[in-house]
A = this chain, B = another copy of it.
Amino acid sequence: MGGTLTPAVRALLDCYDGERPGVKASLARILMHGKMRGSGKLVILPVDQGFEHGPARSFASNPAAYDPHYVFELAIEAGLSALAAPIGLLAAGADRYAGEIPLILKANSANSLGTVKDEAITGTARDALELGCSAIGYTIYPGSDRQYDMFEEVRAGAAEAKANGLAVIIWAYPRGGVLNKDGETALDVVAYGTHIAALLGAHIIKVKPPTALIAEPEARTAYDMTGIDYTALRQRIAHVMQAGFDGRRIVIFSGGPAREDAAVLAEVRAIRDGGGHGSIVGRNAFQRPRAEALELLRQICAVHLGENE
């Protein structure tokens, strides 16, 4: 859509002063699109779960979603800010739906068949440009034995992306190393992942909503000293925003496995109240029948926009 930038979007772009104009234009393309247009908030549809968890676990409950065109149309009809997916899926619809929705190339991927905590680079800035994408996205696993190789791959990919006017999104998912399963979503760890992504130069950071757990003993001391209460998710979201350069970086939150509408919306409200920039909703969108998905996405957008749900 584009058009004159709103003050909210201009304020966000000002956080990226010094960045190339082409990158700012790409960010603006996402922020000025669909229902969230101009609000400074964004809601993204990601469809990489077929890679991460397999096709049946992702699409069997709503088989229409096996078809890439379905997910393009879902994102477009719901008026979302962007669609994020691996190269093969984007290539299956990028031509037909060219220009109808901003695209994000998810450029590395893992799967549940293997046991190594790593991802494969499956796309490049060049691929993203050929497919007409506005951004490129990478997952990192801070803590894993391969983390430094992952950071270096992301660094190289991000540098090429920025030099070509693409925005860079990092999915920060700490795991491995000193962390057990619960630790992966601990407050200190989600904040740490957010901060690492920001320090690596991400424009948009995607993390999971944190639990009230503190995983690293040294971090517990730091949190205790402040005396701040992190009982409510809203409070924890606000802390994650601190870790995202005190709000100077766009941080959005994922929705996790499919759940009841009410649970999803309650979480979205906490993200909004904590100052989060938006949501990235995959399984809670494409695993529902189309009409239900559109209605839930409508409500999620409304919450972020502060409208009547």
- By a beta-carbon cutoff of 8 Å, the part of chain A in contact with chain B is 15, 17-19, 48, 50-51, 53-57, 59-61, 63, 66-69, 86-89, 91-92, 94-96, 98, 109-116, 118-124, 126-127, 131, 142-145, 147-152, 155, 159, 174, 176-179, 188-189, 191-192, 194-202, 216, 218-219, 221-223, 225-226, 239, 242-243, 245-246, 248-249
Contact = CB atoms under 8 A, between A and B. Distances in A.
A196 B51 contact: yes
Copies in the complex: 5
A88 B198 contact: yes
Given A199-B87, A201-B91, A148 B54 contact: no
A159 B201 contact: no
A87 B200 contact: yes
B95 A56 contact: no
Given A68-B245, A177-B115, A192-B55, A201 B87 contact: yes
A271 B225 CA distance: 31
B155 A18 contact: no
Query: Which one of A123, A201, A202 has the highest number of Cβ atoms from chain B below 10 Å of its Cβ?
Result: A201
